[in-house]
Amino acid sequence: MFRYIVKRLIEIIPIIFVVSLLIFFFIHLVPGDPVRLAAGKEATLEEIERVRQELGLDKPLLTQYVNYMQNLLTGNLGHSLKTGLPISDMFENRFSVTMTLTLMSLGWALVLGLLIGTISAVFRNKWPDYVGMLTAISGISLPGFWLGLILIQVFSVTLGWFPTGGVESWKSYVLPSLTLGAGIMSMLARFTRSSLLETLKEDFIRTGRAKGLKESVVVRKHALKNSMIPVVTIAGLQFGFLLGGSVVVETVFSIPGMGRLLIDSIAFRDYPVVQAVILLFSLEFILVNLLVDILYKALNPKIRYDS
Amino acid sequence: MKKASFLRTASVLLFSVALLFGCSSGGGNGSGTPAASNGGTTTGAPQKDQMVIAVNENFITMDPQNTGDALSSGVQSAMFEGLLIYDKDLKLMPGLSTEYSVNEDATEYTFKLRQNVKFHDGTPFNAEAVKINFDRMSNKDNNLRAYRNYKYIKSTEIVDEHTVKVTLNQPFSAMINKFTTGIISPAALEKYGKDITKNPVGTGPYKFVEWVQGDHLTVELNPDHWNKGAAKVGKIVYKPVPENGSRVAMLKTGEADVIYPLPEQQVETLNGEEGVKVERTPSTITRYVSINMLKKPFDDPRVRQAINHAVDKNAFIKVVKSGYGAQLESVMSPTIAHYAKQGAYEYNIEKAKQLLKEAGYENGFTTDIWGNTNSDTMKGMQFIQQQLQKVGITVEVKSMEEATLSDEIYGIKSPEEAKMNMWYVSWSSADPDNAMRSLFSSENFPPAGANTAFYKNDLVDQSIKEATQSSDQDKQKQLYGVVQENVFKDAPWIFLAVDEILYGKRANVNGVYITPSGGIYVREAAFQ
């Protein structure tokens, strides 16, 4: 197991290298000139050229890439073209904000998703199942920005329970994390339900029931654990969706996180910031999927990685 | 074995649960406390002392000499002052100078400086401080945006402790407006170097407290301000809230005291809302469609005039701007100096068809219109499309993401290369030079400038040049009058509307205004 993890960690290096290469050339291929945007509509050509030189954007693309990689290897993410601030400064508060938001969303999604899925499976085709699945369908189909605005209207404006946005206290995270988690919660609920229904048909479950075990014990101790494998897969894959969703949710709830930074930077063609954010997102995604594979092993000892 | 692995799974799940409930323990019993947070320092004080102003975008920089966006300037105006300052109606008033004189040919400005003024860091404000600032801006190598306006300065001389003389290398009529640029503490410039963008130190009514990137920027009352007592609120927090609906919600709950901008279509939701006021101000923003005059059939003035007659401006304001705004009756907003009203191209389909017939386009033609992806822009472009359809002109609507659009328009090698036919756009300016020279002088054809209609008229070029170099207000008025008259007649644009600035505030907010150019004026901020 340990050897496997080390191997996987080493594998990350070339992946990140390829990702960085792709991001760099893609973002530079997109039309739009950060220098023009930075200099403004009334800049003279001379001014624009001066700024271009100052930012090093006049050099050939390959030279720029080599510089960027050299900086990256020394842990220097570079400076924002738009604000001139070091990117590490810009990440300082934003990273923890987005991390808190995504983890809280995943938390909601796991707890509620497993709960709804299990109840739906156990009470298959009875009203709790219908209610549960209706919730799940809604969670998938409602667009995030719409759900967010509705939650603000109900819980902030009408009831005054939670703030409409920002990151003042834990209260600020409740509505956005519900909004962000809704989609994944629904996916998890549906997968838990179908996977649990499959497992409940298995022989070992019949054995358990024949032994006279309580139904609750059968479900909790035997069926649930065995139905978790597909659910964990989905949770891992959906983590990328969380990062993407954070862009929308952070905008609706005016949360100063990485998602909003990404959107702002793309609009401004702030190359170094876009590169840094996507790189970080990729890294997170890779690590989460590594974690999922490790969880597999924990859930199902039959899966062997070391061979 | 098995047990251990199950425990591991369980612990991951438990961790998420703990995270959830760990966060949500401590209150949360819905005790109906208002959501508005007052920075946690108001211990039941009766007098509210913190004002929250929610705006729509992030601030970019706090260096007033290197700022290009109205929002950053709007925030800076609380902390910085120029030798002159704009009041809430964009009138110039004395700032860090008490009086000034100009020589005959407008090349020498002598300022008497206000005495006993200190920067927020205690550095005294004097002639030397002015010189350091002006030298910073007029030095090309510093690559500051203000260089655009300060490149006209040949030298800044210290006459005595409280007098400076600024000499220009050529007359520049709009120079006086440029003396509103904020003046930074020389000690802070020295101390922070490049980081001055994050550490603003000026002389204004408010001092910088903190700027949490992307979340908020806080300023507090400057007790030593030279105009002490005008501003009364202890703290102002500026918050970028990009989503329109969220900004409106913040105003309703009282989390925000002022919100700007307030989208036209959201005004309805606030009307009749308890404790909330909607404010309207005429703006410096003109809304128009730029027509590429180098391309057929737009090289024929009759075609451009026909298009202007074919568009119903009143309907435009009603449909696209929800009734907020006024017809554009010249090439700039009435809020700008030397404005000369030209009237309007009356809405007359018959006349439009007649003009098209004369120009040889009896059966109309096909073209396209460009604009950004903003929903209001889309609405505007579709409106134009539908109006021109009535006179047989088929318009294809092409919306592009802002940076791509900018690249298509300005990223060309030569004017002949321009692919644009019509561009739905707006322009905001503070002075007539910036409203006319940038847009109608033939030296400003893209890629060199913003004359996107590729408008060229020798009389207009000459008049702009003369006006720029004149210090005589009457002469400027006459010359800029000539420019407005000719441009309006030549119709390089579809003249649509002048925007209205809409903002919302709580009923107990006094002395906070959004200026016509979108600045945030807080010099008299107070709660009732």
Q: What is the pLDDT of residue A304?
A: 65
| Structure-token pair, residue B189 | 């410039």
Residues of A in contact with B410 (CB under 8 A): 33, 36, 41
Q: What is the pLDDT of residue B38?
A: 39
Q: Predicted confidence band at A219 (pLDDT cuts at 50, 70, 90)?
A: confident
- How close B161 gets to chain A, by Cα (Å)? 34
**B134 pLDDT exceeds 50?**
yes
Across A161-173, average pLDDT? 86
Quote the radius of gyration of chain A (alpha carbons, Å). 24
Chain A and chain B share a number of CB contacts under 8 A equal to 182
Helix extents (H) in B84-214: 127-138, 147-150, 175-178, 186-192
Task: Check CB contact under 8 Å for B403 and A47.
Answer: no
Task: Check CB contact under 8 Å for A299 and B9.
Answer: yes
Q: How many angstroms separate the CA atoms of A34 and A56, rounded?
A: 12
**Which position has the higher pLDDT, B447 or B395?**
B395
**B6 pLDDT exceeds 60?**
no
3-state helix, strand, coil in chain B (%, to 5): 35, 25, 45
Task: Check CB contact under 8 Å for B143 and A54.
Answer: yes
Sign of CA dihedral B60, B62, B64, B65: negative
Q: What is the pLDDT of residue B47?
A: 67
Residues 177 to 206 of B: which have CB under 8 A from any A CB?
Answer: 194, 197-198
**A274 pLDDT exceeds 50?**
yes
| Structure-token pair, residue B29 | 């019993």
Residues 9 to 28 of A: which have CB under 8 A from any B CB?
Answer: none
Peptide bond just before A31 cis, omega within 30 deg: no
Across B346-375, average pLDDT? 95
Q: How many angstroms separate the CA atoms of A307 and A231, rounded?
A: 25
In terms of CA atoms, which chain A residue is nearest residue B405?
A32
Task: Check CB contact under 8 Å for A47 and B147.
Answer: yes
Q: What is the pLDDT of residue A306?
A: 55
**A139 pLDDT exceeds 70?**
yes
**B42 pLDDT exceeds 50?**
no
Task: Check CB contact under 8 Å for A166 and B239.
Answer: yes
CB proximity list for B103: less than 8 A, separation 6 or greater = none
**B68 pLDDT exceeds 60?**
yes
Across B257-270, average pLDDT? 91
H/E stretch holding B35 reads none
A169/B contact by beta carbon, under 8 A: yes
Using one digit for the tens of pLDDT, what is the confidence trace for B445-480?
988 889 999 999 999 999 999 998 887 889 999 999
CB nearest B243 (choices: A33, A44, A251): A251
**A265 pLDDT exceeds 80?**
yes
Across B499-503, average pLDDT? 95
CB nearest B198 (choices: A85, A93, A149): A85
Q: What angle do CA A199, A202, A208 make, to 5 degrees?
A: 100
Using one digit for the tens of pLDDT, what is the confidence trace for B29-38?
333 333 333 3
**Which position has the higher pLDDT, B429 or B303?**
B303
Pairing between β-strand B276-291 and β-strand B422-428 as defined by DSSP bridges: antiparallel
Which residue is it, tokens 């989390």?
Answer: B255
Across A48-52, average pLDDT? 87
Q: What is the pLDDT of residue B432?
A: 93
B212/A contact by beta carbon, under 8 A: yes
Which of A35-44, B80-89, B244-253 is predicted with the least confidence, judged by mean pLDDT?
A35-44
With a pLDDT cut of 70, the percent of chain B lying above it is 91
Contact B446, B452 (CB under 8 A): yes
Which of A30-34, B234-238, B352-356 is predicted with the least confidence, judged by mean pLDDT?
A30-34
A93/B contact by beta carbon, under 8 A: yes
Q: How many angstroms separate the CA atoms of B278 and B271, rounded?
A: 8
Q: What is the pLDDT of residue A224?
A: 75
A230/B contact by beta carbon, under 8 A: no
Using one digit for the tens of pLDDT, what is the confidence trace for B141-191?
888 889 989 999 999 999 999 999 999 998 888 899 999 999 999 999 999
**A39 pLDDT exceeds 60?**
yes
Residues of B in contact with A108 (CB under 8 A): 20
- How close B412 gets to chain A, by Cα (Å)? 12
Our CA dihedral for A191, A197, A199, A203, rounded to 10 degrees, sits at: -170
Helix extents (H) in B254-348: 267-270, 301-310, 313-320
- How close B364 gets to chain A, by Cα (Å)? 33
Q: How far apart are the first and last CA of chain A?
A: 10
**A229 pLDDT exceeds 60?**
yes
Comparing CA positions, the residue from B276, B323, B236 lying closest to residue B55 is B236
Across B60-66, average pLDDT? 94
Q: What is the pTM of this model?
A: 0.86
B250/A contact by beta carbon, under 8 A: yes
Comparing CA positions, the residue from A190, A186, A162, A182 lying closest to residue A249 is A182
B246/A contact by beta carbon, under 8 A: yes
Across A251-257, average pLDDT? 88
Across B227-246, average pLDDT? 93
CB nearest A267 (choices: B1, B145, B403): B403
Across B207-216, average pLDDT? 92
Residues of B in contact with A165 (CB under 8 A): 241, 246, 250
CB nearest B242 (choices: A161, A173, A254): A254
**B495 pLDDT exceeds 80?**
yes
A303/B contact by beta carbon, under 8 A: no
**Which position has the higher pLDDT, A184 or B134?**
B134
Task: Check CB contact under 8 Å for A167 and B215.
Answer: yes
Which of B34-38, B64-68, B433-437 is predicted with the least confidence, judged by mean pLDDT?
B34-38
Mean pLDDT for all residues in chain B: 89
Q: What is the pLDDT of residue B3?
A: 41
Residues 26 to 65 of A: which have CB under 8 A from any B CB?
Answer: 30-33, 36-45, 47, 50-51, 54
